[in-house]
A and B are shown apart, each in its own frame.
Chain A
């Protein structure tokens, strides 16, 4: 027995070795393939380190984020590099594990001696990883980690490269629902909340705003993000017959799980909002059935048709390399790298990381997600887009100036 305990304790270490052995090289190819572009980068490459969840629970978005970093590296190197030097991104695999991600960033800083860092995916992993960067006084721009916890620690080197933190992700939805005419305005709402530093605050944000608008809460319970079986939850929610169901989902599986369970129990709310699940494009529609997606709301940071600066270059390069449209997580990672790039280019040096952080705090940056700016804690100050599935497509419905559809499906039609 004692031996088993020891061996079990050793397993994560073993796994780290296995993965480091396989993925240590990162498989990165520098984009300097002699493309003959003007002003090809030369000199010692600038080494940029990141760790991403390439395996484990977050492997799906983790791999997408890696693609975003790859595309950025390729585009930067093809257009003369960063400060005239090529960039070389090393991506380690943290296996979606909070302990491994800390080891990875320590190794990047101390052993690989990278010049710059880029963040990892999810608040769960960015919380410990950003602490490593902060301790080493290195700029840490992260693509996906909007939990309020991230910004309550007084960090000076942390910046979140999306439009808003988690509790404000659904602001446009809450305002829209609360502002509906009296005969359509929801009276009751159920909140199904993932125990996740991002998904949780999204639903809690909706709950506090809708409660303030007089919408009665009839169900509000937290579930662990790895939950797959939502039948019992859906049965309990359906018994309360809420007008609104808002789920602070952590990923794809838990959101699809709730939808499927609601379909099976035969309950369709008037408005259904899910934090991130519906943004998984065809993985979402395949999971719940395309005809069942109609009218489902979500908030999103990126849309392929967005007229944002640099988006056409990004889209073109991404489509050429991966033969498909970029997922949101790839776009977010690309934007994070753009933020880092803007800081470096404007400061003109990578020697003083404090100067890079100070510059970001004082300025705004144009990215493919739009223009981003940050408060003193590194939290962004913009607003997410409100999106909705309509006739099998993802449409932006609010704000009006960014909308790709001029109608909002309301109420949500029954499940097919």
Chain B
């Protein structure tokens, strides 16, 4: 029983972090039909930035979020203006090609800047835990999950209560109508892409504390994140959160009760099952079914 509860605790904590990581990916897809395969590479780039801030300037990686987030926002905006905007009107598959190329470029650049060795930010709390009775709550995961919840809440408020948020949602529902009611489609798309990339600022900072990483680490992250947003419903933010929590718990339960060997296969099994049983995902709107196929 203790083992079960502990597995659920660990699963939910890591699921909260996954939710943040997946949010940017699903936001970008929902609004502009771009599958940003470079999101994993951007995440690792943000992790390197957070590591440098911690290593060279002594800034705690989780506090460094206030620096890495705007930095990634600007980078996302520039990336959109230089490359992604030319995808407009092309099928989503083209975006996979383009962003995969971007991911390779970013991986190479990180190798040059930080070398291909492992880096890990180890602030005091990185290996400490809170204890409550028989259970333990790793501090890094608790803080990481807290930051993730905070950033997700801000993102949700932005989408729900600001003009930009309404424009983003309008764009994700129907581009033509949005344009008709006066939404500057290009401008909003650029901002959405930048916001989506900005979420990697917080996500990467958390990763830098949780796991050692190197430039090549992005492949495993992008596959997990794609699994989450397919599960949740591509383009759906609440879906990404639910998908992430489910995946986090499924991974820890599998590692505890079946075998760790199967835990990393969980995202792929999830994708297969979802595509077979409910192609639009848990919270994907029927409207989006055309692009989920």
Contacts and interface: CB of A to CB of B under 8 A. Distances in A.
Interface of A: 1, 3-4, 7-8, 11, 14-15, 18-19, 22, 54-57, 59-60, 62-63, 96, 195, 221-224, 226-229, 231-233, 235-236, 239, 252-253, 256-257, 260, 263-266, 280, 283, 286-289, 292, 415
Contacts of A223: 255, 259-261, 263-264
Given A223-B261, A253-B212, A283-B118, A235 B100 contact: no
A231 B10 contact: yes
A18 B101 contact: yes
A59 B251 contact: no
B122 A287 contact: yes
A114 B219 CA distance: 32
A229 B251 contact: yes
B128 interface: yes
Top 8 nearest A-B pairs (CB, nearest first) are A223-B260, A232-B255, A263-B127, A59-B116, A232-B252, A264-B138, A4-B93, A228-B211
Nearest to A96: B216
19 contacts: A3-B91, A11-B96, A14-B100, A55-B215, A57-B219, A60-B116, A221-B261, A222-B260, A222-B261, A228-B220, A231-B10, A236-B3, A263-B127, A264-B128, A264-B140, A265-B136, A266-B136, A283-B212, A287-B122
A228 B220 CA distance: 10
Contacts of A236: 3, 255-256
Contacts of B122: 286-287, 289
B117 A283 contact: yes
Interface string B1-13: 0010011001100
Contacts, number: 149
Contacts of B261: 195, 221-224
B113 to A, nearest CB: 14
Contacts of B241: none
Q: What bracket does the count of chain B residues touching chain A fall in?
A: 35 or more
A287 B212 contact: yes
Nearest to A415: B127
Q: Of residues A18, A96, A195, A224, which shows the largest number of chain B Cβ atoms within 10 Å of its Cβ? A: A224
B104 interface: yes
B120 interface: yes
Nearest to B260: A223
Contact of A59 (B11, B100, B140, B216): B216
Contacts of B92: 4
Nearest to B13: A231
B256 A252 contact: no
Contact of B108 (A55, A224, A232, A280): A55
Contacts of A257: 211-212
Interface in B241-293: 251-253, 255-256, 259-261, 263-265, 293
Interface in B69-108: 91-94, 96-97, 100-101, 104, 107-108
A56 B140 CA distance: 27
A248 B259 CA distance: 16
Given A7-B96, A59-B214, A264-B127, A226 B3 contact: no
Nearest to B37: A11
A60 B214 contact: yes
Given A252-B212, A257-B212, A292-B127, A235 B117 contact: no
A266 B134 CA distance: 12
Interface string B185-226: 000000000000000000000000011111111011000000
Contacts of A221: 259-261
Interface in B94-151: 94, 96-97, 100-101, 104, 107-108, 111, 115-120, 122, 126-129, 131, 136, 138, 140-141
A261 to B, nearest CB: 8
A59 B115 CA distance: 10
A286 B120 contact: yes
B129 A18 contact: no
B14 interface: yes
A59 B14 contact: no
Contacts of B265: 224
A55 B109 CA distance: 11
Given A57-B219, A62-B116, A235-B10, 9 more contacts: A227-B264, A232-B11, A232-B253, A232-B263, A252-B212, A253-B214, A256-B118, A260-B126, A289-B122
B131 to A, nearest CB: 8
Given A231-B10, A292-B127, A280 B118 contact: yes
B108 to A, nearest CB: 7
Contacts of B104: 15, 18-19
Nearest to B129: A264
Contacts of A231: 10, 14, 138, 141, 252
Contacts of A252: 118, 212
A288 B126 CA distance: 9
A62 B119 CA distance: 16
A266 B129 contact: yes
B260 A224 contact: yes
Contacts of B212: 252-253, 256-257, 283, 287
A49 to B, nearest CB: 21
Question: Could you say which of A221, A231, A287 has the most chain B C-beta atoms within 10 Å of its C-beta?
Answer: A231
Nearest to A290: B122
Contacts of A265: 129, 136
A347 B219 CA distance: 45
Contact of A55 (B91, B111, B128, B293): B111
Nearest to A3: B93
Given A60-B117, A221-B261, A226-B264, A55 B251 contact: no
Given A229-B14, A229-B251, A55 B260 contact: no
Contacts of B263: 223-224, 227, 229, 232
A7 B97 contact: yes
Contacts of A260: 126-127
A257 B217 CA distance: 14
Nearest to B107: A55
Given A236-B256, A415-B127, A55 B216 contact: yes
Contact of B255 (A56, A59, A233, A287): A233
A59 B111 contact: yes
Nearest to A54: B116
Contacts of B136: 264-266
A260 B141 CA distance: 12
